[in-house]
Structure 1
Amino acid sequence: MTQAAYTLATIDQFVLFGDSITQQCFSQNSTFAFGAALADTYARKLDVVNRGLSGYNTMQALRALPLCIPKPEQAKVRFLLIFFGMNDARIRGSPGGPDQSTSVDEYRRYIRYMANHPSVRAHKDVRIILVTTPPIDERKALLADQEKYPDLCPVLRRAAISTAIYAQAMRTLGQELGIPVLDIYTAMLARSGHGRETTPIPGSLEAPKNPTLQSYLTDGLHFSGEGYRLLFGQLMALIERTWSDQMPARIPIRLPLWDLEPSWKVDGDRNPPPWQDSDAVVVTGILEALLSDLQRVT
């Protein structure tokens, strides 16, 4: 592979690493697809890569991480979003498939290992974002489980109190590691008219039914289009606060605009020098150009 071809093939990546909520984030069954919106926003600037692993808890995800993160010579990871916890927070010993639960201490330990994994740290200046567990709605979750597992007695497999505990664990860990935390738990509660200290816990069977909270969750657990829309808004707000230079409008596009003449000039050189992002001023006759470099000669 020539250097020019290598450069073209390796646009920096925005890796989404999570469980089924992440895996489904490009789904066209939703009124708003978070992953597709992110890919559209960063089109020709960053490649958005879906590494959602349905059903995985953090122990399984940690083992899979080296297969989900490219090596630096393959592609550079600029952003890594880590979004696990809903399976870890499952009620221990609850029926319906293998037990996915992990203790809060294990959960924190595994997330810490992910953030410091050699496969992640091999990438220079990777920007890590941790996402809290969201709230759940026990009524919708119970109904969905009864439909999925009709032979099981009506018993909760996930509880509102558990997701609240794991969300707090992620907040604390983010502070310890100095890593930004996207607190989707608090954001959903706030827009449902509640705070983290509300009792009984919103979404629990003991609390009144909350139509706004329910509107964010299709089955009490997974996100609806409105849930993904809120996640997208919170993510972009976090990037603006933390890395304003990484907002889409401030990142140069890869490949020139169609109407920028310098990028299409023919200079007669059939063997142009390899494209180098760092020090080239202008490239003529090659498509692997950055808008910022083209602007230097316009």
Structure 2
Amino acid sequence: MASSRQQVQHTYTLSDHGCFVLYGDSIIQQSFSPYTTFSFGAALADIYARKARVKFLLIMFGADDARSLGSPSGLDQSVGVEDFQRNLRYMVCDPSVKAHGENVHIILVTTPPVDERKCMENDQAEYPNLGQTPRRTAANTAFHAQAVRDLGEETGVPVLDIHRAMLALTGHDHLSVPLPGSMEAATNATLQSFLVDGFNFSGEGYRLLFTELMVLIEREWPEAMPNNLPLRLPAWDFHSARKTEVDERSKGETLEWGEEENGAGGSGRGMVGSENMQGKKALVVGKFEGFVSEVR
């Protein structure tokens, strides 16, 4: 027998909602993994939950592109520096992206550093006949990272420099050689802590990427920081919605935001007629089918 809770469905009609689009290689793919100590993708979803009104396109390539040209074993996915930069330029300057104008904030992420020792260990485990030929080098990766910096300066697209951020924490001054992570340099435990297999990120690597992203957003678009965005869905303590769910007399009645107490702890964000909602109304309509509600 259906309970009174099952008689009411909350359907909020939203428009112009924002999002993050993460575009990249295996580092982006694994950023949603539940098996790391810090999930970059989940952290973004959490901090912008119910709030995102802005659109971000975050572009991060280079983990495989920066492989040495013609490196042995497996599919050769390497991309020369000039072609790498040209491809990125197409991405950020494509008419379909430009058509969004200022409604989309593009962020380029530099190719991160590599640890040649860990890369070699990983490669030899996967390809026993590889020998001592490295497929990724710190120097070649640095060239790809510089190509991203140069493209950002050329196009005016902000650059999240994860390459320098990681190396800075190793104590490197960005000028001297050999680079941390190279066979010529001493083993650097700090760099290795960021890279699970020498180039893909560990949880700590993703944590640093998240921190640097928040610093960049605050610098470039402070209005898009989570604390500066209004709620687009009511918080858990939105009293009108809660009362509707538990009130047996309210059999699917239509309510509007702000009929009683303010949501979000009385902050007034997300109320009907407020500047944040731009006069749009969010209505409670329909019925529950089981305990599944639909967001239209």
Q: Give the TM-score, by structure 1 length.
A: 0.76
Gaps of 5+ in 2: 1-9, 245-249, 257-271, 287-296
The offset of 1:98, in angstroms, is 2.1
Give the structure 2 partner of residue 84 of structure 1: 61
- 1 CA distance for matches of 2:121 and 2:231? 46
Please, which moves more after superposition, 98-107 or 162-171?
Answer: 98-107
Match for 1:141 among 119, 126, 135? 119
Q: 2:149 and 2:121 mapped to 1: Cα distance?
A: 30
Match of 1:73 in 2: none
Give how far 1:92 is off.
Answer: 0.5
1:247-276 Cα offsets, whole Å, 9 max, x none, are 11111222222433466788x98699xx99
Partner of 2:140: 162
The structural deviation recorded for 1:151 is: 2.7
Is the contact between residue 217 and residue 223 of structure 1 (CA under 8 Å) also seen in structure 2? yes
| Corresponding position: 1:28 with 2:34 | yes
**Following the alignment from structure 1 to structure 2, what is the Cα–Cα distance between the partners of residues 118 and 91?**
32
Name the amino acid aligned to 2:221. Answer: W
Which residue in 2 is equivalent to 1:279? Answer: 278
What are structure 1's unaligned runs of at least 5 residues? 47-75, 288-298
Q: Distance in 1 between matches of 2:172 and 2:225?
A: 30
Once residues 33 and 180 of structure 1 are traced to their aligned partners in structure 2, the CA distance between those partners, rounded to angstroms, is: 23
1:194 aligns with 2:172: yes
Give the Cα–Cα distance (whole angstroms) in 2 for the partners of residues 260 and 233 of structure 1. 31
Structure 1 residue 116 corresponds to structure 2 residue 93: yes
> Relative to structure 2, which stretch is displaced further, 6-15 or 235-244?
6-15
Aligned pair count reads 252
Structure 2 CA distance for aligned equivalents of residues 169 and 119 of structure 1: 23
Code of the aligned partner of 1:110: N
Q: Is the 8 A contact 1:82 1:131 kept in 2?
A: yes
Counterparts of 1:1-80 in structure 2, within 5 Å, are: 7-8=13-14, 11-46=17-52, 78-80=55-57
Offset at residue 107 of structure 1 (A): 1.1
Are 1:225 and 2:203 matched, yes or no? yes
Tell me the CA shift for residue 7 of structure 1.
4.2
Q: Is the 8 A contact 2:118 2:198 kept in 1?
A: yes
More RCO (CA 8 Å, sep 6+)? 2
- 1:7-63 Cα shifts (integer Å, max 9, x gaps): 4487311111110001000112211111111111111123xxxxxxxxxxxxxxxxx
Deviations 1:188-208 (A, max 9, x none): 011001121121111110111
Q: Distance in 2 between matches of 1:252 and 1:44?
A: 9
Q: Which amino acid letter does the alignment assign opposite residue 215 of structure 1? A: S
1:178 is matched with: 156
Report deviation, 1:240: 0.7
1:256 aligns with 2:208: no
**Matched AA of 2:115:** D
1:253 partner letter:
L
Instruction: Supply the distance in 1 between the matched residues of 2:177 and 2:98 (Cα, whole angstroms).
Output: 41
Alpha carbons of structure 1 residues 138 and 10: separation in structure 2 relative to 1, 3 Å: same
CA distance in 1 between partners of 2:33 and 2:253 (Å): 46
